[in-house]
Amino acid sequence: MDAVFKALADPSRRRLLDRLRDRNGQTLRELCAGLEMARQSVSKHLTVLEAAELVTTARRGREKLHYLNAAPINAIAERWISRFDRERANALADLTRALEQSPMDSKTFIYTTYIRATPEKLWQALTDPALTDRYWGVRFTTDWTEGSLLTWSQGGAEISHPDQVVLTYEPHRRLAYTWHTFTPQWAQAVGISEEVRAELAAERRSHVTFDIEPHGDQVKLTVTHDFDPAGALYSMCCQGWPTVLSSLKTLLETGEPLPAPHAS
């Protein structure tokens, strides 16, 4: 956490984070454009931000793309949020969401977190329906072979579709699958209006990838979710993923997921 505060203390690094907030997934060249800083200085600042886990990167061909990562901001909020009243907690949540969200012209959401667990334990938590139900409220039915159907169960609704499939299955390293189909039964189970459901159903189907890397006595988990850039699902998932992943981390490190939010 000290590294996060140190990284945020520099105005040039805050400016780089602002630029990623405004448009996520930029190359070093794009981040340098319009800045009164040498390329080498920008590169050094990005190294500090990566070390503090405020920025994560992904390769696209020969290009290295930089993404704002909200996990450290969530960790800061979670450390002190219980000490504040409801209004102050909501204010912190608004700040966190502002840092997590990227503009609608971005089509990729990337979130990196470090979990004190083994790759095997994390893999089990991503694929065992009894565990996914505990921290996510979702159960999967599949044989987990690439190309196989993936049935979702959420809120009492069972969701299946021929295009709802496993894309990648590399045990303890990488898992990828397409997102679920927005059926009327799902919308009714989770309290989504028919108008919103129809809007989501009209979008190009998205897919999510989980990358696992050993990191000392921890594992580095990077979640990449690719969306229809003009759709509404992007905004919904950007707000939902941090909660799901924080609950996953808490479950693996303490044995219990985060408490389910109370309905207002």
Summarize pLDDT for 162-179 with one digit per residue, the tens: 999 999 999 999 999 999
* The pLDDT of residue 223: 94
Q: Residues 218, 219, 220, CA angle at the centre, nearest 5°?
A: 125
Judge if 81 and 198 occupy the same domain: no
Domain final position from 92, 116, 140: 92
Residue pair 16/46 in contact (Cβ under 8 Å)? The answer is yes
Domain for residue 98, yes or no?
A: no
- Whose CA is closest to 238, among 89, 52, 86, 74? 74
* The pLDDT of residue 193: 94
Residue pair 16/31 in contact (Cβ under 8 Å)? The answer is yes
Alpha-carbon distance 150 to 142, whole Å?
5
Length of the chain: 264
* The pLDDT of residue 76: 72
Residue pair 7/13 in contact (Cβ under 8 Å)? The answer is yes
Q: Please, is 45 exposed, middle or buried when counting C-beta atoms within 10 Å of its C-beta (0-12, 13-18, 19+)?
A: buried
* The pLDDT of residue 67: 87
Judge if 68 and 188 occupy the same domain: no
Tell me the average pLDDT across 25-46: 90
Judge if 128 and 170 occupy the same domain: yes
Residue 217, pLDDT > 70, answer yes
- Whose CA is closest to 146, among 99, 90, 209, 221? 209
Residue 86, pLDDT > 60, answer no
Judge if 86 and 109 occupy the same domain: no
Domain final position from 92, 122, 145: 92
Tell me the average pLDDT across 89-115: 60
pLDDT band of 198, cuts 50, 70, 90: very high
Judge if 175 and 49 occupy the same domain: no
* The pLDDT of residue 94: 47
Residue 22, pLDDT > 90, answer no
Judge if 152 and 187 occupy the same domain: yes
What count of other Cβ atoms lies within 10 Å of the Cβ of residue 103?
11
Q: Please, what is the end-to-end C-alpha distance for the chain in angstroms?
A: 32
Quick one: tokens of 131?
């565990």
Range of the domain at 246: 105-254
The DSSP symbol for 82 reads G
Split into its structural domains, the chain has a count of 2
CATH number at 229 reads 3.30.530.20
Is the pLDDT higher at 63 or at 151?
151
